[in-house]
Chain A
Amino acid sequence: MQPHDYLQLALYFGLLLVCTPLLGGFMATVFNGEKTWLSPVIAPLERLTYRVSGIDSVEEMSWKRYAASLLAFNLFGFLAVFGLMLLQNVLPLNPQGVNGTSVYLAFNTAVSFMTNTNWQAYSGEAALSYATQMLGLGVQNFVSAATGIAVIVAMARGIARRQASSLGNFWVDLTRATLYILLPLSLLLAIVLISQGVVQSFDSYVQATTLEGRSQMIPLGPAASQIAIKQLGTNGGGFFGVNSAHPFENPTPFSNFLQVFAILLIPAALTVTYGKLIGSAKQGWTIFAAMLTVLVVVLGVSLWSETQYNPVMQTAQQMEGKEQRFGVANSILWQMTTTVASNGSVNSMHDSSSPLAGGMALLNMMLGEVIFGGVGAGMYGMLMFVVLTVFIAGLMVGRTPEYLGKKIEAFEVQMAMIAILAPSAVILIGTMIAVLIPQGLNSLNNQGPHGFSEILYAFTSAAGNNGSAFAGLTVDTPFYNIALGFGMLIGRFGVILPALAIAGSMVTKKYTPPSLGTFPTDTPLFVMLLIAVILIVGALTFFPALSLGPIVEHLLMNAGRAF
């Protein structure tokens, strides 16, 4: 760590603190349907969208209608990517003449991009046409992110409205999230990224003859437009196989800073949006504080771990899988933000990081992707833990638990537990199956405890809808494509549906004004309690698995053991 590394970290978190209320407030205005400074440009496009799609923008939906609309919309996203991948060889915009992919890979990738995971079992520059990238993956980058935002907005309405029955309109929330938030930010970021050297072209690859006379293909493609939204929408799927380590995807330290900042921008701002929508910005800041605290701690541990002496490689500078222009500090900052935020893009290879930095990445995802988390997804995931925390606090003082004046009853706690346990079950059961069968083990790239970590990471990433990988594992196989595909589906809809059900139940409840016995949910005490619940649930569920992977590897590494 050099002095300017600390300066950059300070700038990063400072900028995050400044942008969170600005963007958060703007988004609240958008979802309240009020006029914004973008309205003169966007509102006509918005109205046109409703007219062409046959949407009645004032219609209100029950939680079941809201959920059904969400599922129907996502189904078409799945079908589009699935079809494009199978048929890309006969479709236009395929200058490199790539073939259609296998059914397994198409299924996995379609699920992956529909669920905002962006797990990549392929290398974009070698396996996908420009049409698949733009019309399939690029579109899902927008609408899967907008889907997540819509769910948290609906949840906020469920909490804010009293003795009502509806949560808003899914079509409207999705359209507004896309047009007012994701699209303008992406446009801006994409253009700055091009100025730094990210490619944006529809030409076919350029043939070069190197200084030493070898031939080299220079890949091109509409990359900048996709990379901007992949970061802002916590998607993370790279245009190129090595993602944001690729010099065409992330050419300079400045492009790196912008991208790593874009990862947290919207998830952080949504805490304030949520606060404003429920009528108390302070409630949002409380959740922000809990998220930030956990991030700073895991970042500190990882930076420490990554700069320790590794007796196996005989150095304290672990540059394997890292780029010289970024160095260790930037690689670890990215590794932590991308795993807390369910983004999943990488600017270094997580598989090659030190055992505890890799372990922290795993832990971040195991905590349920609620530390900032995916856009929308992190916030509604966090509310599951808030429900649980309020419930536990209520048990401790022997009073009916309530959150923001609404009673938390058996149904809410049941739904929250489903949302917390479903992804955990995918991780533990999936990993268990994979380490017992040859189809799971044949894909390993590393031996010893690190091999176990590779498999554990794959299922954790899928269940958390993260998408980053210990990429040594060969995952373009029928077993992993199918197993991880179902893992991603459960990790996504196993949380969205309970979240909407809670919203649907909360919206009907009476408001009880706070009394002396009410446990306040906007205090430092609540921040600590919330963090404790998240860590205890995560630790109880995953400590044994983490011990077999990163922890034992750390101990063996320090003893000089190699595998």
Chain B
Amino acid sequence: MKTFLIALRLFLVMTLITGILYPLVVTGIGQGLFAKQANGSVLKGAQNQVIGSELLAQKFDSVIYFQARPSACDYGTVASGASNKGPTSEALQKSVQERRTAFRASNNLAATQGVSQNVPAEMAFASGSGLDPHISPEAARMQIARIVAARSFDTKRSEALNNLVERSVEQPQFGIFGNARVNVLRLNLALNGL
């Protein structure tokens, strides 16, 4: 009985320390030092309206925007999700073929890049979170011609778009960690400003 009483009291003390004090201290420091990140890295528009988070992908199906990676949960945030289809899944095989065909057609890859040009893997496969905000630099470059045509850009603005895409490429962090990538939402926001 004494053991149970000590166990209960110690459990309550631990709950106070690790369940209440610890998250409160972290929140205090986090909100103080890194308020933007702690609150979801929110991006706001001209009228201070919330457009989204730079860390969360948005759905772009209009031809005038760069497309994000496919999402198995249709870019849902509550809850997020993945396909969890395996390497021998017929359903995944079909989705991948359809996505490749669609990407090829909408960006006219045969004409702009040559017939044998492969669709970048991340544009054919859905991400783990369903909210992957990035695509590869290649996948961004392949979409430039479509956007130039859809927005009827002249040579000067299409040159500006080329430059914008190159400026948007994030190299592996500190030269070591992760892949080169482009943040699609930030790129599209900048694109609207061209």
Q: Which residues of A contact B (CB under 8 A)?
A: 4, 7-8, 11, 45, 49, 52-55, 65, 68-69, 72-73, 75-77, 80, 96, 123, 125-127, 134-136, 138-139, 141-143, 171, 174-175, 178-179, 183, 186-187, 190-191, 194-203, 205-212, 214, 216-220, 222, 224-226, 228-229, 240-242, 245-248, 251-254, 256-257, 310, 312-315, 317-327, 330-331, 346-349, 351-355, 358, 445-450, 453, 470-472, 553, 556-557, 561-563
Cβ–Cβ contact B38 & A200, under 8 A: yes
- A245 and B129 in contact (CB under 8 A), knowing A138-B23, A208-B50? yes
Please name all residues of chain A whose beta carbon is closer than 8 Å to the beta carbon of B122 when the two chains form the complex. 319, 324
Q: Is the CB of B22 within 8 A of A186?
A: yes
* Known A-B contacts A198-B37, A246-B129, A355-B87; A143 and B14 likewise in contact (beta carbons under 8 Å): yes
Question: Of B37, B51, B90, which one neighbours A195 at CB under 8 angstroms?
Answer: B37
Question: Which of A123, A206, A325 counts the most chain B CB atoms within 10 A?
Answer: A325
Q: Which residues of A contact B78 (CB under 8 A)?
A: 96, 125-126, 205, 217, 219
CB pair B13 A321 closer than 8 Å: no
Q: Are B87 and A53 in contact (CB under 8 A)?
A: no
Nearest-neighbor residue (CB-CB) of B15 within chain A: A139
> Within 8 Å CB of A355, what residues of B?
86-88
Q: A216-B75, A218-B52, A246-B80 are in contact. Are A445 and B85 (CB under 8 A)?
A: yes
Listed in ascending order, the chain B residues whose CB lies under 8 Å from chain A are: 3-11, 13-15, 17-20, 22-23, 25-27, 29-31, 33-34, 37-42, 49-53, 55-56, 58-62, 65, 69, 75, 77-90, 92-93, 96, 118, 121-122, 124-136, 172-179, 181, 185, 188-189, 192
User: Which residues of chain A are within 8 angstroms of B41 by Cβ–Cβ distance?
Assistant: 197, 251
Supplied contacts A241-B81, A253-B177, 12 more A-B pairs, CB within 8 Å: A125-B80, A135-B19, A171-B10, A194-B33, A199-B39, A212-B62, A242-B82, A248-B55, A256-B178, A319-B121, A346-B128, A446-B85
Shortest beta-carbon distance, A95 to chain B, in Å?
12
Are B50 and A322 closer than 8 Å at their CB atoms? Answer: no
User: Bound complex: CA of A477 vs CA of B126, how far in Å?
Assistant: 26
Which chain B residues lie closer than 8 Å to A449 at the CB level?
Answer: 88
Q: Are A208 and B42 in contact, with the CB atoms below 8 A?
A: yes
A212–B87 CB distance below 8 A: no
- Chain A, residue nearest B18 (CB): A142
Q: Are B7 and A52 in contact (CB under 8 A)?
A: no
A470 and B25 CA atoms in complex are apart in Å by: 35
Question: Given A135-B20, A252-B178: A352 and B83 within 8 A (CB)?
Answer: yes
Instruction: Contact check, B82 vs A11: say whether CB atoms are below 8 A apart.
Output: no
Residues of A within 8 A of B14 (CB): 139, 142-143, 175, 178
Distance in angstroms from A44 CB to nearest chain B CB is 13
List of A residues within 8 angstroms of B27 by Cβ: 200-202, 222, 225
- A-B interface pairs (CB < 8 A), number: 369
Residue of B nearest to A209 (CB): B49
- Given known contacts A72-B4, A216-B75, A225-B26, is B132 in contact with A323 (CB within 8 Å)? yes
Evaluate contact between A242 and B130: CB separation under 8 angstroms: yes
Q: Considering the chains assembled together, what is the distance between the CA atoms of A56 and B9 in angstroms?
A: 13
A216 B39 Cβ-Cβ under 8 A: no
Contact A322 B26, beta carbon cutoff 8 Å: no
A80 near B10 with CB under 8 A, answer: no
Q: How far does the Cβ of A558 sit from chain B's closest Cβ, in whole Å?
A: 10
Q: Give 8 nearest A-B pairs by CB, closest first.
A: A253-B178, A472-B84, A245-B128, A253-B177, A123-B79, A317-B121, A450-B86, A72-B7
Q: How far is the CA of A226 from the CA of B26 in the complex (A)?
A: 10
Residues of B within 8 Å of A175, CB to CB, are 10, 14
18 residue pairs bridging A and B, Cβ less than 8 Å apart? A45-B17, A127-B79, A134-B23, A135-B19, A138-B19, A183-B18, A195-B33, A201-B31, A206-B42, A208-B42, A211-B189, A216-B58, A318-B87, A324-B127, A352-B82, A445-B84, A450-B87, A450-B89
Q: Is the CB of A214 within 8 A of B82?
A: no
Choose among A45, A218, A346 the residue that contacts B53 (Cβ–Cβ < 8 A): A218
User: Complex formed: what's the CA distance from A187 to B22 in Å?
Assistant: 8
Q: Which residues of B have CB within 8 Å of A216?
A: 52, 56, 58, 75, 77
Cross-chain contact B39 with A326 (CB below 8 angstroms): no
Enumerate chain B residues within 8 angstroms of A326, measured Cβ to Cβ.
Answer: 178-179
In the complex, what distance in Å separates the CA atom of A208 from the CA atom of B45? 11
The residue in chain A whose Cβ has the minimal distance to the Cβ of B68 is A324
B1 and chain A: residue at smallest CB distance:
A72
Q: Quick one: which of A199, A217, A245, A257 contacts B127, CB cutoff 8 A?
A: A245
Q: Are A446 and B89 touching (Cβ within 8 A)? A: yes
Decide: B172 and A171 in contact? CB cutoff 8 A.
Answer: no
Give the nearest-CB partner of B130 in chain A: A242
Residue numbers in B under 8 Å from A556 (CB-CB): 88
Which of B17, B38, B41, B173 is most buried by chain A, counting CB atoms within 10 A of its CB? B38
Choose among B30, B49, B58, B129 the residue that contacts A190 (Cβ–Cβ < 8 A).
B30
Q: Nearest Cβ distance between residue A528 and chain B, in whole angstroms?
A: 33
A142–B21 CA distance with the chains assembled, in angstroms = 13
Report the separation of the CA atoms of residues A248 and B51 in the bound assembly, to the nearest whole angstrom. Answer: 17
A7–B178 alpha-carbon span in the complex (Å): 11
Q: Contact: A553 with B88, CB < 8 Å?
A: yes
Q: Which residues on the A side are within 8 Å of B177 (C-beta)?
A: 4, 8, 252-254, 256-257, 330
Cα distance, A219 to B90, chains bound together (Å): 33
Neighbouring B residues of A203 by C-beta, 8 Å: 39
| A553 to B88 alpha-carbon distance, docked (Å) | 7
A561 to B34 CA separation, bound complex (whole angstroms): 50
Contact of B18 among A178, A201, A445 (CB under 8 A): A178
B6 close to A191 (CB less than 8 A): no
Q: Are A211 and B51 in contact (CB under 8 A)?
A: yes
A195: min CB distance to chain B, Å: 5
Instruction: Report yes or no: A352 in contact with B173, Cβ–Cβ below 8 A.
Output: no
Are the CB atoms of B88 and A218 closer together than 8 Å?
no
Also in contact, A347 and B87, with CB within 8 A (given A126-B78, A212-B60, A324-B179): no
**In the complex, what residue of chain B is closest to A69 when comparing beta carbons?**
B3
Q: State whether B82 touches A323 (Cβ < 8 A).
A: no
Cα A67 to Cα B192 with chains together (Å) = 64
List chain B residues, Cβ under 8 A from A142: 14, 18
Q: In angstroms, how far is the closest chain A Cβ from the Cβ of B49?
A: 6
Which residues of the partner chain B approach A314 to less than 8 Å between Cβ atoms?
96
Residues of B within 8 A of A11 (CB): 176
- CB-CB under 8 A from B92, the residues of chain A are 313, 320, 352
How many Å lie between the Cα of A209 and that of B60 in the bound state? Answer: 13
> Which residues from B are CB-within-8-Å of A76?
7-8, 11
